[in-house]
Structure 1
Amino acid sequence: MALKRKRSNSAPRLLEPNEDTWSTSSTSSNRQFELAATEFTVKIDVPKQPRNRKKPKAKFEVDIISKLIIQPSKWHRMRSYSSFINSEITFKRGDIVEVKRPGNDGVPGERREWIAKVLDVRADDPSHVYVRIAWFYWPEDLPMGRMEYHGRNEVIESNHPDIIDAMTVNGKADIKEWDEEDEDASIEGYYYRQQFDYLSGQLTTPRQFCICKRYYNPDTKIVNCSECQIWMHEECIIKDAIRRHKKSSLTAKISDDLKSDPNPTPLEKGANKSRDKTKKSTSKPDQGIAAVLFEGKIRIREVTKKGDNDSDSGLDSDTIIDEDIHCLQCGEVVS
């Protein structure tokens, strides 16, 4: 019969089939570049590759254990466990966990905990339990910084290795992988879709959307055309609508100018063009155009400047125009 040892309710303990339950206590440690490291140091047995801006995708491998040099060598003599318990929560290999961040006072919206994936659990004795992990990154922590397509709840998986003390693990992180190729995938809470390769400094490329071939920020809207199956950014649809209305407004102004002076006198070669500046303009006031997507339509409003209530479309400035959304690729109406 296995011997059960007395344990503390707050200290992490190890669990493995047919193994004793150990009580453990340890000192805190965390990311190697912000806190004093544990007694172990982790180095990678390959030269770090320079970043290549033309490289389209990173070669990502989560667990680079074969490339790690861990010192002191006693790490390899320590017993490996499948899981451990801290604060009555069981943590297993493969779990994504929260790691205590120094100075985090728990105020919502301020400093967030660090995130890591558990790859291995080892113990030297009941007072020294260590976890080998791979860090996740918040987008602003990446070498290239936060991109425009990164959502506010987005994190980045990496193979950045480290060894931390089990006492620094606060809880499980509710983070799901988002497969962008799955059209029915829902994005709720925290998620990740990209990987950062610590060896090369490269970030994997997300899926391209829309005719602009840019990426998708889930904090914004995106519209699908059922005819050609393209997904379009809300921003691109709005820009196209504004461009078309500005073009029609310009055409109307030119038409009005030609009607007011059907037989314009051409300027002689070398004539001073500035003398025409005194001629009173017959064109209508400038128009500012705004647009939004609303209830499956493009809602457009022309804001008249100079206090004129007549817009180029013949509508006053308080009139809202609702148009069908047309696909930017095939031109079909998007229902």
Structure 2
Amino acid sequence: MKAIVQEVYGPADVLELRDIDRPAPGAGEVLIRVHAAGAGPDVWHLMTGLPYPARLVFGLCRPKNPVPGWDGAGVIEAVGADVNDLEPGDAVYGECRGSFAQYALAKADKLAPKPDRLTFDQAAAITCSGVTALQALHTKAGLRPGQKVLVIGASGGVGSFAVQLATAHGAEATAVCGPDAADFVRSLGAVDVIDYTREEITDRPCRYDVVLDVAGNRSVSLMRSVLTPEGTLVHVGGEGGSRWFADAGMQLEMGLRSLFRRQKLRGMLAVARRADLLTLNGLIDKGDLTPAVARTYPLSEAADAIRHLEHGHPQGKIVVTVATGGA
């Protein structure tokens, strides 16, 4: 089968299209014939091996799994032992292992049926970004109808889901993004837009019940200053910080400040669960949520997809499309 392979950590140049053996599903796993794969910061971290402590999980000197990609959508080709609720021919999406390939393995409990109204490209954009936004707003922030939400980094993968989820829950979403994305985030449901090239979030007298920080380039003190006295700040990412500790300093500061204030300052690491995917499916089926695909690239141009992710400020999610067929 065709797959993107990396033997070493590094920039996008380390990604190569090769012929490799098709994997076989073990107990509790399924083999998916991949139609599309999501490309997000998770792929970049695996590709570069940064921050360095992540290599304790990914592989110290080189990736344990040389095929990148975590988000995938496709059709089940085969099922392993102890898989009783999925069968070959089912169209699914979810967390896969090595989705930048014609075939990929996935744990059955991290998959959900592909909504009929979505293409495979759209479904591939859901898992990491959609689950992160859902868990940030609902699990961490306890979002309630009528609350005001500030989404910093609203035009990217997580942010585009967060704006829609806040709106679907009856909250008012204000989006922070660049000028080119203003119309895009309004189309997702944002009631107001802050153009970060012209003003800072503190320039307005507004206070927010929830601040969702996806960008990771503002201080905790600055973001706290726009929270209500009992508001919640959730930090879910951003590529700031050092090559050793990423944003560990911010996470530590948030934890310490939370000890002495009514405001809740929370970091998070999303975990894909079928229950959350099914929650997202329900919103998709009702028309309250639609994955935003910024651009698609064929598998052979996966390196260009990652370069776009790094430098192109995509509006929505970058998706790698995989031609069906192959050994």
Shorter-chain TM-score category? under 0.3
| TM superposition score normalised by structure 1 | 0.22
Q: Identify which of structures 1 and 2 has the higher relative contact order when contacts are C-alpha pairs closer than 8 Å and 6+ apart.
A: 2
TM-score of the superposition, structure 2-length normalised? 0.22
Relative to total residues, which structure has the larger strand share, 1 or 2?
Answer: 1
Q: Which is greater in Rg?
A: 1
Comparing both structures, which one devotes a greater share of its residues to helix? 2
